Structure 1
Amino acid sequence: MTAARPTVLLTGSTGVIGANLLPALAARHDVTALVYRRRPEGATTCVQADLTVDGLGLSVRRRTELAAGIDVIVHCGGLTDFAPRDHSAFDNVNADGTRRILELAEEARVPVVLLSSAAAAFEVPGDDLAARSMRAYGQSKRRAEELATHCSQPVAIVRTALLFAARSAPTAPRHQFPHALFTALLQARPGGLPLQRDHWADILPMETLVDYVTALTEAQIRGDATAPGLHWVTAGPARLTAADLERACIDFLKEAGRPASGPLLAEPATPQPRVRGMARVAQIGFLPPDQPDMPSHLNRLLPTQVTRTDVLQALAHNVRRCAPWGS
């Protein structure tokens, strides 16, 4: 199907990324949201389905109707919980769920934009729960990417970094890293987080990812031959160090009349109880200074690369929204 106003099939429309993509896509296209339970506002129509069931849990008739009415699939649905009871859930949702979406794309003969993760490119060491969970997540995303390479339809794979909440979002997703990290730092316990200040993380403004994926979706609809393949959507050289995060939190605490009595980070060499929880996730998620910047392909479809000023402004805005005290 190709109409004056193409139809996008969007999965994960109630998730952190999908909820931001939906209004951007709906401004230009009709959007059919593939939903499991919650129904998002702003979609043209919703179809209840299940990524964990073969055939997506749809009848043959409903699946045929769905396939006949779409022009592109944007697949954001996935499992991001870093402590599931069963790590096989990552494969069932992120990998096998992607396989089921790719099968639908082949039936509909439409291209796909697949939201992956930079975690697919890294192997996390360690045998503790946090390391095993993050490793299982990255492996499931890598398997999804491998499945995409065998799809008969054009697939554009988007490896995105960590994300700041959009400025327009009603709340910050505090259950997700990095916002859980900001909340922990704002507890203002001196030396509460054992993390080296020169280690870094790639955190991108949500608006930049939305702009890129929207442009990529349109390129796929046009049949642009350069659209399929791997796209790194990251901050690249505009990466942030742990010291940048500490400074933003200290500045906000001072502004809020709750000044920190000392540094918020501690050298990991300092004697500590067994590192766990957010401290362990942060240590895994931040990379040493000799690790090269992540690749960034933003200028393939956007006018400019995100700047350090852009990222620092997003950092300050997000820290402000993560205050662990009442407004």
Structure 2
Amino acid sequence: MHPSRSTVLLTGSTGVIGTSLLPALAARHDVTALFRNRKPDGPAVCVEGDLTAEGLGMSTSERRALAAKIDIIVHCAGLTGMTPPDLTAFDTINAEGTRSILHLAEEARVPVLLLSSAAAAFQVPGEDLTARRMRAYSSSKRRAEELAAHCSQPVAIVRPALLFAARNATTAPLHQFPHALITALLQGRAGGLPVNPDHWCDVLPIELLIDYLTALTDALLSGDGSAATLHWVTAGQARLTAADIERACLDYLTETGRPPTGPLLAPPAASRPRSHGMARIAQLGFQPPEHPALPSHLDRLLPGQLTRPAALEALARSVRLCAP
């Protein structure tokens, strides 16, 4: 390790965000990756730890040795899937796991970049299983933020939007909502997906998030007091509607000689309420047009905000990645 480089402790290095963030951080800093089951690929020193265990599953001497060599913690690890073994798993990993990381930061006396979620700002209605899962996830992220507010060290909280796959990706993370939705639309099922065309969701190219997290890490390391605040990293006014996503899928299907036999979207049927599956996730994941766009703080640390043409370009790339 180069003595003039700071050491970043990165959690979640094998996740969708962490996989892209690790090399971006490693280009500027020495990275130590905290892992549990699978070591990350890339230039990092790997340290085994468990967010759900007391003291991160380390002995006191191991934890002190780790604390002594790090300059900042970038906490990206978390449970995001919508099929946990039980709903308490969200709180165990996302909230209590964050508590353990904050304790380590206090022991090391270093700042923390905490990756939260825009979902922390939403209250999900409904008592069906899909709604309860989404509510448990957003609640766990809010609780992690509340814990961060009581940390004695500086904490920057980042609320990212949904994400498009990386520009250099060869496959799309199909377990994530945007890509699961696109995959469902490309199947062209009869009747279409029951979502209003003018409803919207906020999806951001992952490269913008990675650039922002890298810049924010540098700001925290430099001692910038204004960095330890809430950061919304979203598409903002460049949010996409269901009609935008439908059009991108229609264009691809037509281009490849597979025009659909029916509409990809259909008016939601109040007489047939959905309680599971992609239809229900989409109904909960899209917002009505009267709901204001999410805040976006991209221009705090980057040259500007996301533009609509750039959002549509990222959408078209993701459609091709999701195509069967």
TM range, normalised to the smaller chain? over 0.9
Superposed CA offset, 1:88-109 (max 9, x none): 0000000000000000000000
Q: Alignment partner of 2:32: what SS?
A: strand
What is the CA-CA distance between 1:44 and the residue it aligns to?
2.4
User: Is 1:110 equivalent to 2:110 in the alignment?
Assistant: yes
What is the CA-CA distance between 1:191 and the residue it aligns to?
2.7
| In 1: Cα distance, 2:176 partner to 2:122 partner | 19
Aligned partner of 1:8 in structure 2 is 8
Letter in 1 for 2:143: R
Aligned partner of 1:303 in structure 2 is 303
Aligned partner of 2:317 in structure 1 is 317
Aligned partner of 2:97 in structure 1 is 97
Give the conservation status (yes or no) of the 8 Å contact 1:33–1:43. Answer: no
Give the conservation status (yes or no) of the 8 Å contact 1:116–1:158. Answer: yes
Aligned partner of 1:151 in structure 2 is 151
The change in CA–CA distance for 1:274 and 1:122 in structure 2 (over 3 A counts) is closer
Superposed CA offset, 1:15-68 (max 9, x none): 011111001001111100000011111132000000001100011111111001
What is the CA-CA distance between 1:85 and the residue it aligns to?
2.6
What is the CA-CA distance between 1:257 and the residue it aligns to?
1.2
Aligned partner of 2:219 in structure 1 is 219
| In 2: Cα distance, 1:135 partner to 1:43 partner | 36
User: Is 1:138 equivalent to 2:138 in the alignment?
Assistant: yes
Q: Alignment partner of 2:230: what SS?
A: strand
Give the conservation status (yes or no) of the 8 Å contact 1:122–1:138. Answer: yes
Letter in 2 for 1:257: G
Letter in 2 for 1:127: E
| In 2: Cα distance, 1:148 partner to 1:22 partner | 23
Aligned partner of 1:182 in structure 2 is 182
What is the CA-CA distance between 1:273 and the residue it aligns to?
7.1
What is the CA-CA distance between 1:190 and the residue it aligns to?
3.8
Aligned partner of 1:229 in structure 2 is 229
Deviates more, 1:262-271 or 1:223-232: 262-271
Superposed CA offset, 1:171-196 (max 9, x none): 21012111011100000124321000
Alignment RMSD: 1.3
Give unmatched runs, 5+ long, in structure 1.
none
What is the CA-CA distance between 1:270 and the residue it aligns to?
7.0
Give the conservation status (yes or no) of the 8 Å contact 1:83–1:129. Answer: no
Identity among equivalent pairs (%): 69
Q: Alignment partner of 1:226: what SS?
A: helix
Aligned partner of 2:29 in structure 1 is 29
Aligned partner of 2:191 in structure 1 is 191
Q: Alignment partner of 2:73: what SS?
A: strand
Give the conservation status (yes or no) of the 8 Å contact 1:199–1:289. Answer: yes
Runs of 4+ residues over 3 Å off in structure 1 = 270-275
Letter in 2 for 1:72: I
The change in CA–CA distance for 1:270 and 1:135 in structure 2 (over 3 A counts) is closer
| In 2: Cα distance, 1:7 partner to 1:54 partner | 24
| In 2: Cα distance, 1:79 partner to 1:308 partner | 30
TM-score for the superposition, normalised by structure 1: 0.97
Aligned partner of 2:259 in structure 1 is 259
The change in CA–CA distance for 1:132 and 1:275 in structure 2 (over 3 A counts) is closer
User: Is 1:56 equivalent to 2:56 in the alignment?
Assistant: yes
Letter in 2 for 1:302: L
Aligned partner of 2:282 in structure 1 is 282
What is the CA-CA distance between 1:276 and the residue it aligns to?
2.2
Letter in 2 for 1:29: H
Give the conservation status (yes or no) of the 8 Å contact 2:106–2:151. Answer: yes
Give the conservation status (yes or no) of the 8 Å contact 2:192–2:262. Answer: no
TM-score for the superposition, normalised by structure 2: 0.97
User: Is 1:73 equivalent to 2:73 in the alignment?
Assistant: yes
What is the CA-CA distance between 1:272 and the residue it aligns to?
4.3
Letter in 2 for 1:237: Q
| In 2: Cα distance, 1:202 partner to 1:281 partner | 14
| In 2: Cα distance, 1:153 partner to 1:13 partner | 22
What is the CA-CA distance between 1:323 and the residue it aligns to?
1.0
| In 2: Cα distance, 1:270 partner to 1:137 partner | 26
Aligned partner of 2:204 in structure 1 is 204
| In 2: Cα distance, 1:73 partner to 1:273 partner | 44
